[in-house]
Structure 1
């Protein structure tokens, strides 16, 4: 008999697969103290939680029979993934369970925002009948701009088209062909901002998307446009939104999430043009049932010797294999991260090549990590070592790996190549004895760069004075150069310059570097 502990409140309909299994004993108790939890996990093979239970290293190490932890939802911040992986415990989540509920909530907010429904009802509660005060706008023929065209964004688009709205979408993994198949227009972020009558965001909250809709972005929008956020607090810069509504630039906003929650005293809630709900995107009976059901099926699969659909942590490999692979983990991920920040266009294919001492090793875990490094630029923690391939497939990206006996003079070599709808770029790295990870080739240029820290990558024409001008400009901005590597194919031809600097190069400095004569491209990145 397999024992399963559920330590947070869950839909009983959702866990029916567990309750109906004859060989499963399901224990439900959401009132456990920390000490009681430690005792309870000591005899179970599976643990299911939401966000209340903190699954710490201590909890995992008190569970000698534990095989799997299920998170009935998306985020796994309350689970120590490193401890789970080290102890051979699989962690799964339920990333699809709230897709419909969040899309429908977005549409409910959209309609309420367009027709002032909450405000009008509030007036009726005050025994006031003010029809003229609440004249709304129709959705028909209006443009809805969708930033983030994943599962939820696509569902919102389908519903918006049902209202005969015009849909334009931006997503780093969306191109014209994919947009056409989805029946929407494809645009850059700027084009979406400029054309949208209603702007809705459906992206993860990562460094790149934090305050994505800020004062500058809002300034590009139509006067009288409206903004919705049912994704993550922090994507929309709340102070900028407040000022834009106050000035009349933005006609209104619908918010289900805030940067800090609960947000009962938020200044935005004092504005009559704002409607808000307390993070209800996933709060439907069906969504709660769906996430519980998804996790329950994965629990059953593991306990019955099957494979899971939504793993979050690194799959277990033999200790012998791990000993060979682990030195390459950071190298593979950093090669992918480097390449993702310099490549232009919509990603279509990733090729990973191995040579040297890696010929006789199962390199699939390294390929997964390289793909994770590439996708994480846009998806953050939503992509991990295990779901990287599935995430890439969902985005229409092909993954391939090859092995070769040719090492180009190195004992080992990992080469990551990406193809987009605009270009093909590659980067190669190795592990130097005693010196650690090194980038040894970028495109067809030979270099020697440590793949970490703050880097400035400059494509230029090999002419006298270029390096000096770059150094002088960085000095003017108080940016110190730690190392410099220059690669070229021939004298006076195309060249690449890779600088390691002591702090990130931002704003005007980046733009000024691009204006130096003979410099063609500048990328400033942090790895």
Structure 2
């Protein structure tokens, strides 16, 4: 099979070299696309790589049946509609490490440029003036730097600040006290705590509802007088109008921006103001960074299509080949459990609960839950369902989803059970995996049993009395339907109560055979369940 890759923005030659050297891949470069032209192009390819020039919107993904992966050669994915991609089962990945050092260095370049008035001093020389007195600077040593966001870039900035003799104060909701001590920095609990304490402030977070306008007009009074603010992350984290006001009031001594709310940005009230230095989104614009993000981005696509590996995804859990292989049996079992429950539960579903017990509770249960959701929805959806979009599609339909994990071993080393509620029903079923890849059904409601989980499965509940199994066999014999496997289970240890039979049939029984089974006294319910054949895997699990 040949995978087609669409290159939507210019990338370094090293990325193309990787694609040229990899058999089974071909690519086309189509830059500057938008609107209908972009939508049609995305429908022609299996994967796409983009930088920041092209915006992949919900409209450009509408109706896409082919695209499986989008890679952003860089960190921010604001130019990709991740919800739309997820809904279509498209994994979105980025390259967070590729431009880490370049962006951290650019942050420091802007801090130094602010501190020593580099840009206006050079401009004075261009204008023929030798004016040393007008450009008195300030040193970084012994100053305090606030860092909001202690991811890869934030940490590199903090390390460089410490090397400059600065005191670093950081806010990050995922920064532990132990990590802060190890890094030699001070940790605060809120953004508001950091603002009055620092001489310099830099932000290294994505743009989200929580980070938009971290510094705004209402917070100007919290800032330490004479503060200098730097942003090499995403435009909109600082409110630009508030920066103008802060400069005019003398609260803010300097502003350095590499990113803007609207890009490209050639006009801003900040441009030309004293104490301001701006660059046109150059944080990752080094030869080394562009080479690295191109190599990383293309390698992400190659690995995804060759092995199923998912790394640096922003809309699904990471999945490497080793993890995929170790989970394959459980993913298949969870998927089949979802298919079974969708057919066994005949009404509408309002909520689902997944229970993981034993060794599987220490696995990546989020992926297993996604596999269950994919099975549960597959027969009800016109669009493709996979582990990327299944959980979102389920929740969009108002179905509540919960997980429980119990590491204590039960009757099996590992087991997965599901409880489905809705239409006045509560149904349960449990599965396990024998060996590495043999899924087995181990319970249905209160019935304990052990049945093969594949092919044409006939479930029938009945009163536990003699003769039922023989009469069922007779009906299928009359209609030339062979029974490949059979399992029975009771709701209790005592005979005479309720029981269940599960048959694996070699063919689909005719409707009249099912009617004859229901006519047998003591049989209460008959349900044909269709599952994939033995060893058959869904497309998203076949890599």
TM > 0.5: yes
Contact 2:124 2:131 in 1 (8 A): yes
Counterpart for residue 181 of structure 1: 182
- 1:251: how far off? 1.4
- 1:52: how far off? 4.0
- 1:56: how far off? 5.8
Shift in CA distance, 207/250, structure 1 to aligned 2, threshold 3 Å: same
Counterpart for residue 12 of structure 1: 13
Shift in CA distance, 259/36, structure 1 to aligned 2, threshold 3 Å: closer
Distance 2:107 2:42 in 1: 39
Counterpart for residue 256 of structure 2: 254
State the TM-score, normalizing by the size of structure 1. 0.59
Distance 2:315 2:116 in 1: 45
Counterpart for residue 518 of structure 1: none
Distance 2:349 2:202 in 1: 40
- Which residues of structure 2 form unaligned runs of 5+? 320-330, 343-347, 372-386, 390-402, 411-416, 426-543
Instruction: Identify the match of residue 401 of structure 1 among 405, 418, 423.
Output: 405
Distance 1:231 1:403 in 2: 41
Does 2:241 align with 1:221? no
Contact 1:367 1:401 in 2 (8 A): no
Counterpart for residue 476 of structure 2: none
Distance 1:329 1:129 in 2: 75
State the TM-score, normalizing by the size of structure 2. 0.58
Contact 1:72 1:291 in 2 (8 A): yes
Shift in CA distance, 238/354, structure 1 to aligned 2, threshold 3 Å: same
**Deviation per CA, 1:50-94, whole angstroms, max 9, x where unpaired?**
344455677667876544332223344554555655555433222
Does 2:435 align with 1:433? no
Counterpart for residue 244 of structure 1: 246
Contact 2:147 2:202 in 1 (8 A): yes
Q: Give the paired residue count.
A: 367
Highest CA radius of gyration, 1 or 2?
Answer: 2
- 1:117: how far off? 0.3
Counterpart for residue 198 of structure 1: 200
**Deviation per CA, 1:347-396, whole angstroms, max 9, x where unpaired?**
xxxxx9779xxx9x995248789xxxxxxxxxxxxxx979xxxxxxxxxx
Distance 2:298 2:269 in 1: 41
**Deviation per CA, 1:188-229, whole angstroms, max 9, x where unpaired?**
434422221111122222222222212443323332221112
Contact 2:226 2:251 in 1 (8 A): yes
- 1:265: how far off? 2.7
Distance 2:216 2:49 in 1: 38
Counterpart for residue 396 of structure 1: none
Distance 2:84 2:218 in 1: 42
Counterpart for residue 46 of structure 1: 47
Shift in CA distance, 52/147, structure 1 to aligned 2, threshold 3 Å: closer
Shift in CA distance, 238/196, structure 1 to aligned 2, threshold 3 Å: same
Distance 1:61 1:261 in 2: 25
Contact 2:8 2:48 in 1 (8 A): yes
SS at match of 1:227: strand
Counterpart for residue 307 of structure 1: 309
Contact 1:42 1:64 in 2 (8 A): yes
Summarize the alignment of residues 319-358 of structure 1 with structure 2, pairs less than 5 Å apart.
none
Distance 1:91 1:248 in 2: 43
Distance 2:35 2:90 in 1: 20
Summarize the alignment of residues 4-403 of structure 1 with structure 2, pairs less than 5 Å apart.
4-30=5-31, 44-55=45-56, 66-79=67-80, 81=82, 84-85=85-86, 88-188=89-189, 189-314=191-316, 364-365=366-367, 401-402=405-406
- 1:180: how far off? 0.6
- 1:161: how far off? 1.1
Q: CA RMSD in A?
A: 4.2
**Deviation per CA, 1:11-34, whole angstroms, max 9, x where unpaired?**
112333212224432322326676
